[in-house]
Amino acid sequence: MEVLRLDVTDPESVAAAAAAAGDVTLLVNNAGLSTRADLVTGDLADIRLEMETHFFGTLGVIRAFAPVLARNGGGAIANVLSALSWFSTEGANAYSAAKAAEWSLTNGVRIELTEQGTSVTGVVLGAADTDMMAGYTGPMSDPADVVRAVLDGVESGAWEVLVDDWSRHVKASLAADPREFYAPTAA
């Protein structure tokens, strides 16, 4: 196994990784950051960084690795998303918007890559016990449990993996009036 340096916001880095990893059959897009920027008052550079990382970075990696996956029989892609793909909260609105875009991207590339035999799985979770969640006091998934859920989902051909109770709750809330979901936070 070889560890490759990859910056999803640097096209040269992405191209170099795809060229070096010619045997890839599973691509996991898990690059992420949170600037904690809001959309109206946040620094526009931070908002752009969220989109560059979560949307354009993920798209760039998929575009670079899609031919590699095709040459290797199709393979699979797992995009690690967030329950924040489906709701917004103050202090994370740029993140939510970028993750919503990444969720849509996941559905779009799934359609586009079907013909080459590449399966695409969206992985949605609330919070995992990682450095990015430092200071968060709510329930968090063990990263090992997330990995197991991802691998099980990819192996079963799932289009979407809802890792935890929070992601299942948020997804189930989408069909209701949004005021019902946001009511507890407005109180």
Task: Return the CATH number at 92.
Answer: 3.40.50.720
pTM above 0.85, yes or no: yes
Residue 134 lies in a domain: yes
Domain encompassing residue 60: 23-186
Cα-based angle 125, 126, 131 (whole degrees, multiple of 5) = 100
- Residue keyed to tokens 């779009």: 108
Q: What is the pLDDT of residues 28-84, one digit of tens each?
A: 999 888 899 999 999 999 999 999 999 999 999 999 999 999 999 999 999 999 989
Residue 72 lies in a domain: yes
Residue 131 lies in a domain: yes
Residue 117 lies in a domain: yes
- Residue keyed to tokens 């059959």: 25
In this prediction, residue 143 carries a pLDDT of: 76
- Answer whether 150's CB lies under 8 Å from 28's CB: yes
In this prediction, residue 159 carries a pLDDT of: 97
Residue 156 lies in a domain: yes
Residue 3 lies in a domain: no
Residue 87 lies in a domain: yes
